[in-house]
Structure 1
Amino acid sequence: MSKKHLLVVDDDQRIRKLLKQFLTNSGYRVSTANSAALARELHQQIEFDMLILDVMMPGEDGLSLTRTLSNSDSTPILLLSARVETSDRILGFEMGADDYLPKPFEPRELLLRVEAILKRSVMKKGQKIPMEISIGQMTYNMNRKELWSPTERVNLTPVETKLMQTFAKRPNSVFSRDELVQSIASSAPTKTKEKTNIRTIDVLIKRLRQKLEKNPKYPGYLKTIRGYGYMLEPD
């Protein structure tokens, strides 16, 4: 299998060098650009599997480049930025980004997000999301909205079921707490909507892990993505 080809765009030479070295050592083929203009030129010449763009660059910034490329191309985009406000992340998604990673970040987290985005990209290109997913010894059926252990059905509350549906529809996708609140509120009774907030999500995730994970204190499937939210990574 050929290596996935990534384009890293950042005006900081040190960051470009570090990211290229890390991602190359992680099994990817990596090209770099120091500006949006050069990125456009390379993008026209090469079919990249993914773009990693810094938001704050002189001249055309990463948000503008994201908006232009996402309107004409389906190549997934990960934005990197020191801007950590929720409004900045929302703007990035509105421009067409697939994910948004605040700086500073751990290299391992970057790698997890790259892997997750590439998996989603493959699904968009024709692979159907399975109606049944395996989570260790557990199995979740999306049609029946049921979670099963090897011997019996595991009881889920209506809110836990909504969370499972959200994660199962987009496995390996990172969801912010705000997104999870909205996923619950979109189909919840008014009384539930009023009680659902970001802190509630953390409690719900804890309860869901107790039903999914062999060791909830060290989750291997329903993972915390530092600084952003949660991701379900099935087998």
Structure 2
Amino acid sequence: MSEAQHILVVDDDNRIRDLLKKYLTRNSFRVTAAADAASARKLMTTFDFDLAILDIMMPGETGLELLASLRSSGKRVPVLLLTAKGETGDRIEGLKAGADDYLSKPFEPEELLLRISAILRRTHVEPPPEEIEMSGLVFNAKHQELTSGARRVRLTEAELQLLSMLAAKAGEPVSREELASKSPNSTERSIDVQVTRLRRKIEPDPRQPIHIQTVRGIGYRLMPD
């Protein structure tokens, strides 16, 4: 049996939040709920969600502000916005900010389910390749090893973990915050140090990296051959 897809519901209205959680759970989704943007952000450092449902009108940080923050940090989790009926401006701003779809309140549960299914079909991503080639080196994600021909390139545990996280999202920017949150005892500064060391083992010229690229204001991106 395949693992249930994990949805994050973010809404300050307890009634709507509980109804969504119960309805989606009955329809075979795994659901985690948050009452505000701050709680949602913490959950996103722990779980990899398949989709997030964000209410736009929340006290404090709004759903639009949370969405903009997620996209600027490189998080590509699909987002469905819940808007008040007639709030055309919010819907337009949400789509501009990177939302995948929106639904106006009040809504029919069946329509919500159809929109979620459509988003998940559109945004389904194939698993990363088992092997990634970089200037004569091969990283095997399954066996967790980097090789040059028949020779195994020695990596520290921290370097191996960093390379694995970047390889899992090859071609996409990964924020320093995300890398640090998933690496025990790491900070954003220590991630920079690990990247420098890893480049020495991977790049033809570490001073001009072509594989572990810096994404200004966000973090790093792994580019295979």
After TM superposition, the score normalised by the length of structure 2 is: 0.54
Work out the CA distance in 2 between the residues paired with 1:66 and 1:26: 25
- Match in the other structure for 2:24: 23
Counterpart among 82, 89, 98 of residue 87 in structure 1: 89
Work out the CA distance in 1 between the residues paired with 2:116 and 2:36: 21
- Match in the other structure for 1:64: 65
Partners of 1:55 and 1:80 within 8 A in 2: yes
- Match in the other structure for 1:42: 43
| Deviation, structure 1 residue 87 | 2.6
Larger Rg computed on CA atoms: 2
| Deviation, structure 1 residue 81 | 1.2
Map 1:221-232 → 2, pairs under 5 A: none
- Match in the other structure for 1:159: none
Work out the CA distance in 2 between the residues paired with 1:85 and 1:28: 29
Work out the CA distance in 2 between the residues paired with 1:25 and 1:81: 24
- Match in the other structure for 2:193: none
Instruction: Report the RMSD for the aligned CA atoms in angstroms.
Output: 1.3
- Match in the other structure for 1:74: 76
How big is each residue's C-alpha offset from its partner over 1:32-84, in whole Å with a ceiling of 9 and x where there is no partner?
Answer: 00000000000111101000000000000000001111222110000001142
Paired letter, 1:14: R
Residue correspondences, number: 125
Work out the CA distance in 2 between the residues paired with 1:10 and 1:49: 17
Q: Secondary structure at the match of 1:110?
A: helix
Paired letter, 2:49: F
Partners of 1:70 and 1:97 within 8 A in 2: no
Work out the CA distance in 2 between the residues paired with 1:70 and 1:3: 25
Q: Percent identity?
A: 54
- Match in the other structure for 1:99: 101
After TM superposition, the score normalised by the length of structure 1 is: 0.52
How big is each residue's C-alpha offset from its partner over 1:132-171, in whole Å with a ceiling of 9 and x where there is no partner?
Answer: xxxxxxxxxxxxxxxxxxxxxxxxxxxxxxxxxxxxxxxx
Paired letter, 1:54: D
Work out the CA distance in 1 between the residues paired with 2:90 and 2:83: 9
| Deviation, structure 1 residue 20 | 0.3
Partners of 2:83 and 2:91 within 8 A in 1: no
Q: Secondary structure at the match of 2:39?
A: helix
The runs of at least 4 aligned residues of structure 1 exceeding 6 Å deviation read: none
Q: Secondary structure at the match of 1:56?
A: coil
Counterpart among 110, 113, 116 of residue 111 in structure 1: 113
How big is each residue's C-alpha offset from its partner over 1:101-146, in whole Å with a ceiling of 9 and x where there is no partner?
Answer: 0111000000000000011111xx249xxxxxxxxxxxxxxxxxxx
Q: Secondary structure at the match of 1:32?
A: strand
Paired letter, 1:104: P
Work out the CA distance in 1 between the residues paired with 2:54 and 2:67: 8
In the superposition, relative to structure 1, how do residues 50 and 107 fare at CA in structure 2: closer, same or farther (>3 Å)? same
Paired letter, 1:92: G
User: Where does the alignment leave 5 or more consecutive residues of structure 1 unmatched?
Assistant: 128-235
